[in-house]
Amino acid sequence: MGSDEGAFGFGLKPKSRKVSLLSADHLLTLEELDRSELLGLLQLAAEVKKSPKQFHRSLAGRTLGMIFAKPSTRTRVSFEAGMNQLGGSGVYLSSKDLQLGRGETISDTSKVLSRYVDAVMIRTFAHSDVEELAAASDVPVINGLTDDWHPCQILADLLTICEVVAPDEIISKDGGVDAIAEKLADVKLAYIGDGNNMANSLMVGAGIVGIEMAVAAPSGFQVDKKLAARIEKNYGSKVTLTDDPILAVKGADFIYTDVWASMGQEEEHAKRVEVFAGFQVNEKLVKATGKKNTKVLHCLPAHRGEEISAGIMDADDALVWDQAENRLHAQKALLLALILKDVILR
């Protein structure tokens, strides 16, 4: 690459600067990132979204290994399409494609894959498997989802929120990340439903960028109080835990929900529908915020009529399709930052 070429393979402009965006080698929970790194990553995602052609050869010749113990629509398509759009390629690996079921250790698998690919994304059940994979890997490992965490979804969610409350700041470098942080400091996000991996990751992501958060879940399905306390201590962001959805959404700018029975919990579905009956995000709950323009978020897939009403799902204030699209842009930014390390910011 000539001296006039940047890390992405296109000419540097006079005001461009090449920086190392992330200090972490892997993305497992989001807690690897500080506020500046996370907001910088979101700015890169906005730039990738705005000017995709500038990045279309950035990962030429690079390969992403994609391990799926849990199937997915959005995770597979967004990562595979993202690599293709950046000039690279993705290799899909189901549980049947690997030797893990025949006794090969996760560590050994990781060492082998490190010789073949430039990064690994894994979507699986136990978070300890992702940690073991990363510990033995010589290339970046990305957590595509575990039973405990879903960091990639949160990148898309935060990008979506920034596009609403800081549309100018997210695409401008003039004020740096501080300008975005100032806008996010006035935001309240309410999560209604199961205290699952989405709730965990949302609390962490919101905490890092300074968003106030409330989580409403029925008794026995709430998030870990120790995690909430750690977030408040580490980031100074307010976290409220309650079993009252009305209390949680009061003053909320965004309401978030997820399915009541996640993958692997199908046998509990009937019971969970009874327990979560009062936790549906519907017109009444949105009105209880006391705000006129509260936006609704859902990571999908959605069970209309259960955790979210069909009317709210299809309402203009629902941002679910923007969230889904932003998985693509946020993960492209993540791949650039982890694989290339040095990235260009304008």
C-alpha radius of gyration, the chain, whole number: 20
Is 258 labeled as catalytic in the residue annotation? Answer: yes
Which residue in the list 62, 123, 298, 329 is annotated as catalytic? 123
3-state DSSP of 13-57: CCCCEEEECCCCCCECCCCCCCHHHHHHHHHHHHHHHHCHHHHCC
| DSSP codes joined into one string, 112-166 | HHHHH-SEEEEE-S-HHHHHHHHHT-SS-EEEEE-SS--HHHHHHHHHHHHHHH-
Which residue bears the tokens 């997915």? 72
Q: What is the 8-class DSSP label of residue 101?
A: G
Whether residue 332 contacts residue 82, with contact meaning beta carbons closer than 8 Å, is answered with: yes
Give me the catalytic one of 26, 35, 62, 150. 150
- From the candidates 43, 153, 280, 331, which is the catalytic residue? 153
User: For this structure, is 303 an active site residue?
Assistant: no
Active site residue 298: no
Contact status, residue 308 vs residue 280, Cβ threshold 8 Å: yes
Residue in 26, 148, 194, 299 annotated catalytic: 299
Give yes or no: 299 in active site: yes
Identify the active-site residue in 62, 298, 327, 329: 327
Task: Identify whether 118 is a catalytic site residue.
Answer: no
User: Which residues does the annotation mark as catalytic?
Assistant: 123, 150, 153, 258, 299, 327
